[in-house]
């Protein structure tokens, strides 16, 4: 059987690859040759796993959600990435990449960020490892995500506001790639999701695969079998979903459900549902589904959730969708908001708005779930950063039904 993981050429079906300017070719080749031997070495594994345990706080709990299970007629477990240091799954990847950067002899770190979550994770590991760090961030986002900007600065990172384009994540990424082109020898570019040129999508998925590795033994302990019937996760670029499905992607007993950001609706013109609304194109070094006009201009995405507001999607996920390995559901702003309030009231957990999209998939599945079905849903992050948005919508009609 063909695997849904990356092939030897860096592709997932027709998606993936490394489409980079000539000046970065050597850089990307070096990384391609180095990443597997390093991350599979015993030395790396020990350092990585020690930090995940003692610094991040792993393993993250697999929590049986009793009241949500009753509501949705299944056995629902929540994978609690919200309990990680810095409040989301992004730190798993940032720690892995900075260890890799050090082992490759790099001395300077750059990153892009939209909402600031990946920027904070990167600034955090740079403080930990005493590495200089520059984070590119669209000027619009610098204004919108003021607290995360201050966090990054307090951690010692330089935040570079990008004034081109719409001054959001896509523009920040372009600028980070430009920086990398100018400093290919000493700089390591820590990408925050399963996007970018090969080997990034595979590398990030492997570094996040600690999520599914833990789900396996945790389910064995709790259910006496190491696989669920359903996995549910939200998708921006795809890293928490990639980590959640990694060890199950070729196990067809496990159904995969991905929630992308519908925004105001897939056909409204205000959406970030790239799999539903995108077409084949190349963005940030990778061939994947992209939200673009007929002549290839990127369409600005929209979602209430800054972490899902990206006009592309990882090649792993585009291929899973195309091959019908995963069911992809666009979850609109209002559905995500309702789901966030529901989890808060039923379980006392305030989820990130991104994670609320995964929770918003549950009402869509209710008709097909059986009481004995084991569902594992990844809560990718905590909701403290989204409190202003939640407060602005707390009196919306139907929010607490």
Ligand X SMILES: *Cc1c(COP(=O)(O)O)cnc(C)c1O
Residue of 81, 112, 175, 214 with catalytic role: 112
The residues near 350 (Cβ < 8 Å, ≥ 6 apart) are: 340, 343, 344, 382, 383, 384, 387, 390
Q: In the complex, what is the shortest distance from the CB of residue 81 to ligand X, in angstroms, rounded to a whole number?
A: 7
CA-to-CA distance for 387 and 227, rounded, in angstroms?
34
Nearest to 104 by CA among 214, 11, 190, 233: 190
**164 flagged as catalytic:** no
96 makes contact with ligand X (CB under 6 A): no
Q: In the complex, what is the shortest distance from the CB of residue 221 to ligand X, in angstroms, rounded to a whole number?
A: 26
Site residues for ligand X, 339-358, by CB under 6 A, read 352, 354-355
Q: What are phi and psi of 134, to 5 degrees?
A: -120, 130
117 makes contact with ligand X (CB under 6 A): yes
209 makes contact with ligand X (CB under 6 A): no
383 makes contact with ligand X (CB under 6 A): no
235 makes contact with ligand X (CB under 6 A): yes
Among 59, 138, 196, 238, binds ligand X (CB under 6 A): 238
198 makes contact with ligand X (CB under 6 A): no
301 makes contact with ligand X (CB under 6 A): no
Q: In the complex, what is the shortest distance from the CB of residue 48 to ligand X, in angstroms, rounded to a whole number?
A: 19
CA 353 vs CA 93, 375, 380, 395: distances in Å:
20, 20, 9, 17
**29 flagged as catalytic:** no
CA-to-CA distance for 12 and 18, rounded, in angstroms?
12
Of 238 and 360, nearer to ligand X (C-beta) is 238
Residue of 75, 79, 90, 106 with catalytic role: 90
Cα angle, residue 10 at apex, residues 183 and 289 outer, rounded to 5°: 90
**Which residues are bridge partners to 328 per DSSP?**
258
86 makes contact with ligand X (CB under 6 A): no
145 makes contact with ligand X (CB under 6 A): no
DSSP string, 124-145: HHHHHHT--EEEEEEHHHHHHT
Of 27 and 235, nearer to ligand X (C-beta) is 235
Among 193, 212, 244, 303, binds ligand X (CB under 6 A): 193
Q: In the complex, what is the shortest distance from the CB of residue 305 to ligand X, in angstroms, rounded to a whole number?
A: 8
Of 329 and 369, nearer to ligand X (C-beta) is 329
Residue of 60, 193, 303, 380 with catalytic role: 380
**69 flagged as catalytic:** no
Q: What is the dihedral of CA 341, 168, 83, 253, to 10 degrees?
A: 80
The residues near 25 (Cβ < 8 Å, ≥ 6 apart) are: none
Q: Are 313 and 289 in contact (CB under 8 A)?
A: yes
CA-to-CA distance for 328 and 91, rounded, in angstroms?
25
Q: In the complex, what is the shortest distance from the CB of residue 206 to ligand X, in angstroms, rounded to a whole number?
A: 14
Residues tagged active-site:
90, 112, 380
- Residues near ligand X (CB under 6 A): 88, 90, 117, 193, 234-241, 307-308, 352, 354-355, 380-381
């Amino acid at each position: 059987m063909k695997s849904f993981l990356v092939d030897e050429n860096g592709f997932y079906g027709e998606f993936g690859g490394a489409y980079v300017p000539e000046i970065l070719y050597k850089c990307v080749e070096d990384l391609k040759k180095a990443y597997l031997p390093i991350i599979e070495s015993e030395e790396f594994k020990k350092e990585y796993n020690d930090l995940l345990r003692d610094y991040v706080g792993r393993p993250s709990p697999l929590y049986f959600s009793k009241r949500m299970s009753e509501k949705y007629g299944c056995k629902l477990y929540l994978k609690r990435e919200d309990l990680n240091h810095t409040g989301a799954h992004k730190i798993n990847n940032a720690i892995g990449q900075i260890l890799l950067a050090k082992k490759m002899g790099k001395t300077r770190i750059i990153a892009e960020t939209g909402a600031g979550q990946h920027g904070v994770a990167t600034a955090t590991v740079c403080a930990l490892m005493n590495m200089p760090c520059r984070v590119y961030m669209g000027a619009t986002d610098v204004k919108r995500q003021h607290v995360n900007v201050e966090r990054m600065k307090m951690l010692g990172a330089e935040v570079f506001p990008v004034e081109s384009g719409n001054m959001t994540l896509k523009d920040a990424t372009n600028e980070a790639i430009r920086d990398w082109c100018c400093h290919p020898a000493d700089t390591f570019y820590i990408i925050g999701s399963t996007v970018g040129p090969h080997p990034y999508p595979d590398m990030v998925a492997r570094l996040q695969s600690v999520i599914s590795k833990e789900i396996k033994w945790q389910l064995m302990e709790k259910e006496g079998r190491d696989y669920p019937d359903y996995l549910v996760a939200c998708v921006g670029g795809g890293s928490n979903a990639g980590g959640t499905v990694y060890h199950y992607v070729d196990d067809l007993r496990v159904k995969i459900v991905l929630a992308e950001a519908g925004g105001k609706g897939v056909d409204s013109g205000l959406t970030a549902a790239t799999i539903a609304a995108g077409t084949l194109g190349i963005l940030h070094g990778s061939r994947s589904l992209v939200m673009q006009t007929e002549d290839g201009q990127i369409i600005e995405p929209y979602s209430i959730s800054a972490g899902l507001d990206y006009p592309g999607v990882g090649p792993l996920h585009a291929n899973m969708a195309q091959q019908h390995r995963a069911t992809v559901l666009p979850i609109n702003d209002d559905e995500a908001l309702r789901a966030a309030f529901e989890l808060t009231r039923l379980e006392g957990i305030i989820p990130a708005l991104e994670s609320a999209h995964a929770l918003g998939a549950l009402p869509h599945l209710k008709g097909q779930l059986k009481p004995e079905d084991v569902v594992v849903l990844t809560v990718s992050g905590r909701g403290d950063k989204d409190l202003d948005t939640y407060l602005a919508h707390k009196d919306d009609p139907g929010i607490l039904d």
